[in-house]
Chain A
Amino acid sequence: MTAPRSKEQPFHLQKAGKSIASPNEHRVPAPTPSVIAPRFAIIRDLERCIGCQVCVRQCSFGAQAYDSAEDEVYGIDANCVGCQRCVAFCPTSALTVTERPARYRQNFNWRSDVIDDIKRQAETGGVLLTGMGTDKPQPIYWDHLLLNASQVTNPSIDPLREPMELRTYLGRKPDRVDVSTDALRAEAYLPPQVMIETPILFSAMSYGAVSLNVHESLARAAADVGTLFNTGEGGLHRKLRHYGDSTIVQVASGRFGVDLDYLNLARIVEIKVGQGAKPGIGGHLPGHKVSADVSATRMIPVGTDALSPAPHHDIYSIEDLSQLIYALKEATNYAKPVSVKIAAVHNSAAIASGIVRAGADIIAIDGLRGATGAAPKVIRDNVGIPIELALASVDTRLRQEGIRNQVSIIAAGGIRNSADVVKAIALGADAVYIGTAALIALGCTVCQQCHTGRCAWGICTTDPFLSKRLNPEIGAQRLINLLRGWSLEIKEMLGGMGINALESLRGNRHHLRAVGLTEAEMDVLGVRVAGT
């Protein structure tokens, strides 16, 4: 794989002609002649443009080009993905990238995106791939839930003057503390508990899908803040192994990178059953992303496709899951909580109950709006249910069965800000995973091109030229800032509700009221309409 690359000039040194020569022709299929109208317009203010070609060097999708004969920089709208990299880096603010208005005649049924998809499929004959979470307008229940605040009868608490506790322990809790036993003083009395200082964890994003610099940024930030990052299913690079105390390691259907060291260096071991962006299907890391480092970390040959089967081939039923849970507990000497991550689907509540009884210490539920490095578009946009409804029904069900305390719940999939975190905890979560929000902190603009491996922001790529665009030191600091800002905001909201420890908000739906929801929706969420 290295041989052909060495013959090439680096992309940023190439002189692009009128026809775009891809810098990585062997990686990216040559563009098929397309009749799809370009979605974005690259508008260049020629009075401002100084012809410096920064945009040409920054664009990894071949949408900016330089014509040496004319000494002219110009845009190729058809290649533009709207990632805004060139706009951000243009030193004279000469560029605007905007969505083209009314590309087709307006039609509420045959929308532009629907027409584009059909045309694209007619051109390629394949499954349409995409990245990130669904961009369809499914209801976002967070925006229909409003928080409470104290007035008169209950003093609000000022977090700048009074203690305000966000510390959370993840892991199975017993039904009671038995003070009559001698075991009282033994540390091993409780099942293993993992402390986090803020209820926000970094969601699973595998090395290979994202760059090593992303992993390092996440690991450093998690260590600094006192929370955890999830390796995703692609193993943990040897360079990051000393961040084990800040790590959740994932065991997925492909078992990439799993060995005894990997399991034992982590704080939590997570079995990935499903993912909110693509419930029911597996994963596929194309061989061209499997570099030497990715190969060593995933323990697969260089250049081979990394295929994660849709199901675990040793889990065809709940009792099989239990076997894997206990196999992992055996392997880690019962010292680490085992988490099971599922996609939010129609019968999540019953599945979650089974997972608790199968021995899991933590359940992670990933909702419809969860993101992905690559998924069939039709799956991403149509399969699964919103996290709010799944979370509420799982929490309610586990309480009805009297087993809610036996498991910690992590909610994932579309958490956008600190208010979403607070609402998730009030609905019943112990903590949340954030993925997309963390990537946005690192520069992501949610342009949904992760599956191409050409991320201009150096995030979802293993191309060394692109991935070095993310400096892990700066990346870590940005993530630390994000978590700090959210944590401060969470404290403000808690204080307003007259609560000074996060645990008093968990499942406390009395602090939520609904606006604009149906009776049936409010019933599932367990909340009342605002004003009552």
Chain B
Amino acid sequence: MKPRNETERLSNPYNDDKVMAACSIFGMMDISGKAVPGGDVIRAIANMHDRSNGLGGGFAVYGIYPEYADCYAFHVMYPNNETRSDVERYLIKSFAIVHSEEIPTQPAPHIQDPPLVWRYFLLVDSDQRGEQSEEEYVFDRVMTLNTSFPGALVFSSGRNMGVFKGVGYPEEIAHFFHLEDYKGYLWTAHGRFPTNTRGWWGGAHPFSILDWSVVHNGEISSYGTNRRYLEMFAYQCTMQTDTEVVAYAVDLLVRRHGLPIELAAKVFAPPLWKQIDYASQDERTLLTMLRQTYSSLLLNGPFSVIIARQGEMIGLTDRVRLRPLTAATKGDLLFLSSEESAIRLVCPDVETAWTPMGGEPIIGRLRESLPLPKENLEVAVA
């Protein structure tokens, strides 16, 4: 298939439909909402250095921009200033820009030929969005930006959160973006080991849309099915990596279809039909219905992911657990990691550490926020 637009050609040098990668993932959340600096997360992901190969690293931080908490924070990569002017003209037309600046960076030894990276704090004018909800409006603008401006990429678009990523080892990316100077109550991190020979900045994790972010270790063998299903709901997979579909799928299920995250996890890694057959009547009905309706969103093949949004962090592995994930807690802290050693490096005295079952979601949630329809959850959550 031919590339659909310039973006794909520029950002994905091989025009592969799907880029495979192995990886390290790490997540850390303080459910009391206390913001912590990036040092521990950077040390932890650096400890899993050998799980990546220098072709991609990245971080997502929640609670990072309290001074602009109401604004959509766009992080945008540009190949040159000309493209930046084009995009900024579009942004001025579409949003009220509260603040904009180049994201501060410093040279890092192995970071070569970085793009221009800017951030914009944006508000949506109710006149402009018309009938659309604010989130739908922002979503559409992000899709438009990422498909219409060659080389430009909005890689972060949520409120009070930010994604930082690029080509390099994660600790180098952290250095490049001064991440030790940022604070957040929820951090996720990723070190990438792509199996093609070059990385590109857009292909690094986390992948993000609105305030969702996803870091992913694995290869989704259902990619074609997932992608074509999401395309029916106007999601355009511009980055051609399987991780992107996870971000869009969770956005569709939770934001647009109103499923609690526990049930979304049952869509991504459903119980086997034989297990469903033996469940209680109510549970069977619900799980059968979910699997029948969303069969095209089952994530098949080996994966472990950490999905985050404002106030929530979810760890999940595929249902036959073909990729590692360890969870640990200490007090208000929840850790998720590819390797337990990374957790123990930054928190030697964890209270509990365990390996979740395949398909069993591990959910960290801010205390006293995000009320969820509990009565619907009970049947589904083991």
List A residues at the B interface (Cβ < 8 Å).
150, 152-155, 157, 162-163, 165, 167, 169, 173-174, 176-180, 184-187, 189-190, 193, 399, 402, 404-405, 426, 497-501, 503-511, 526, 528
Contact = CB atoms under 8 A, between A and B. Distances in A.
Contacts of A155: 302, 322
A501 B270 CA distance: 10
Given A154-B301, A501-B298, A510-B17, A177 B225 contact: no
Contact of A154 (B221, B229, B257): B221
A503 B296 contact: yes
Contacts of B376: 179-180, 184
B289 A402 contact: no
A510 B320 contact: no
Contacts of A193: 292
Contacts of A509: 224
B294 interface: yes
B89 to A, nearest CB: 31
A510 B224 contact: yes
Interface in B1-48: 1, 17-18, 20-22
How large, as a class, is the contact surface on chain B?
Answer: 35 or more
B48 to A, nearest CB: 18
Contact of B257 (A169, A177, A497): A177
A176 B293 contact: yes
Given A153-B22, A504-B222, A508-B222, A163 B272 contact: yes
Give chain A's interface secondary structure class.
loop
B296 A528 contact: no
Given A155-B322, A163-B272, A402-B233, A177 B259 contact: yes
A402 B293 contact: no
Contacts of A405: 229, 232, 293, 296
A184 B260 CA distance: 14
Nearest to A174: B293
Given A179-B258, A426-B224, 7 more contacts: A153-B22, A155-B322, A180-B258, A185-B286, A504-B221, A507-B229, A528-B1
A145 to B, nearest CB: 14
Nearest to B270: A501
A526 B1 contact: yes
A335 B316 CA distance: 37
B260 A179 contact: yes
Interface in B304-334: 319-320, 322
Given A154-B221, A498-B221, A510-B17, A190 B301 contact: no
A361 B27 CA distance: 44
B86 to A, nearest CB: 29
Contacts of B296: 405, 503, 506-507
B286 A190 contact: no
B77 to A, nearest CB: 26
B300 A162 contact: no
B244 interface: no
A134 B293 CA distance: 38
Contacts of B373: 179-180
Most chain A CB inside 10 Å of its own CB: which residue of B18, B224, B258: B224
A210 to B, nearest CB: 33
B105 interface: no
B285 A185 contact: yes
Given A179-B258, A180-B258, A169 B292 contact: yes
Given A153-B22, A505-B225, A177 B272 contact: no
B293 A154 contact: no
Contacts of A167: 273
Nearest to B303: A154
A528 B22 CA distance: 24
The 4 closest A-B pairs by CB, nearest first: A504-B222, A508-B224, A510-B224, A504-B300
Contact of A150 (B195, B221, B294): B221
Given A179-B376, A504-B298, A399 B258 contact: no
Contacts, number: 128
Interface in B238-293: 256-260, 263, 272-274, 282, 285-286, 289-290, 292-293
B144 to A, nearest CB: 19
B220 to A, nearest CB: 9
Nearest to A167: B273
A178 B258 contact: yes
B292 A190 contact: yes
A154 B300 CA distance: 11
A362 to B, nearest CB: 14
26 contacts: A153-B20, A154-B221, A163-B274, A163-B320, A176-B257, A177-B289, A180-B373, A185-B286, A187-B285, A193-B292, A399-B232, A405-B296, A497-B221, A499-B222, A501-B300, A503-B298, A504-B222, A506-B225, A507-B224, A508-B228, A510-B17, A510-B18, A510-B224, A511-B224, A526-B1, A528-B1
A508 B232 contact: no
A499 B320 CA distance: 11
B298 A154 contact: no
Interface in B366-382: 373, 376
B373 to A, nearest CB: 7
A510 B223 contact: yes
Contacts of A404: 229, 232
Contacts of B222: 499, 504-505, 508
A174 B285 CA distance: 15
B360 interface: no
B231 interface: yes
Given A185-B282, A501-B298, A154 B20 contact: yes
B219 interface: yes
Nearest to A502: B295
A500 B320 contact: yes
A179 B256 CA distance: 12
Contacts of B229: 404-405, 507
A528 B2 CA distance: 9
A190 B224 contact: no
B292 A507 contact: no
A179 B219 contact: no
B223 to A, nearest CB: 6
Most chain B CB inside 10 Å of its own CB: which residue of A150, A162, A510: A510
A498 B320 CA distance: 11
A426 B218 CA distance: 21
Contacts of A526: 1
Contacts of A507: 224-225, 228-229, 296
Most chain A CB inside 10 Å of its own CB: which residue of B290, B294, B300: B300
Given A185-B285, A504-B222, A508-B225, A177 B290 contact: yes
Contacts of B300: 498-501, 504
